[in-house]
Amino acid sequence: MASFAKIFEEYHLVASLVHGELDDQESIDLVKRIGKLPGFQPSMTHLSDCRFITNNLMTPTGVIQVSEVTPFAKSANRVYVVNDEMAKIFSVIYSSTSGASDNFYVTYDFNEACRRLGIPEAIILESDLYKTIA
């Protein structure tokens, strides 16, 4: 399992990428690492790309634990790109338990996510963040 995050300051955005297996602890560790990134601000938008998860081992308890340690403000916009119905359900649970449901969107389409955030998808996809899955 691997997870990575990168700040795009010009867009006031944190993009995260998860691939391989995802379990509760890895997800908790990722959000904690995001909060420690140089330049991180709780008001930043979060684009989470979960399309490359091959084995989702998250549990409902783990999703709640992630929502308890998220570094993002409740008012921060968040868009999650998922690859299956279970990930979508867990994303909705996360949005509800983190208090962010008014600023939270889940989609299967990366292009739609970028359009929704007003971010050129090439900026994200051509960054070093995506070299981790090459």
pLDDT tens column, 60-96: 999 889 889 999 998 999 999 999 887 887 777 777 7
Tokens of 29: 């560790």
Average confidence score pLDDT of the chain: 89
pLDDT at 48 over 60: yes
User: At 101, which CATH number?
Assistant: 3.30.750.24
Mean pLDDT of 9-18: 95
- Whole-model pTM? 0.90
Cα–Cα distance between 14 and 72 in angstroms, integer?
10
Q: Which of 95, 84, 111 is nearest to 22 (CA)?
A: 84
Total residues belonging to the chain: 134
| pLDDT reported for residue 88 | 80
Query: Between 90 and 8, where is the model more confident?
Result: 8
> What total of structural domains would you count in the chain?
1
How far apart CA 93 and CA 70 sit, in angstroms, is 14
Instruction: Please give the average per-residue pLDDT across 122-131, as a whole number.
Output: 90
Structural domain boundaries, residue 36: 2-133
Q: Starting at the earlier edge strand, list the strands of the sheet with 13-22.
A: 2-8, 13-22, 45-56, 78-81, 104-107
Q: Degrees (nearest 5) of the Cα angle 107, 128, 113?
A: 15
Q: In terms of Cα–Cα distance, which of 69, 65, 78 is closest to 32?
A: 69
Torsion over CA: 67, 70, 73, 76 (sign):
negative
Q: How close are the terminal C-alpha atoms of the chain, in Å?
A: 14
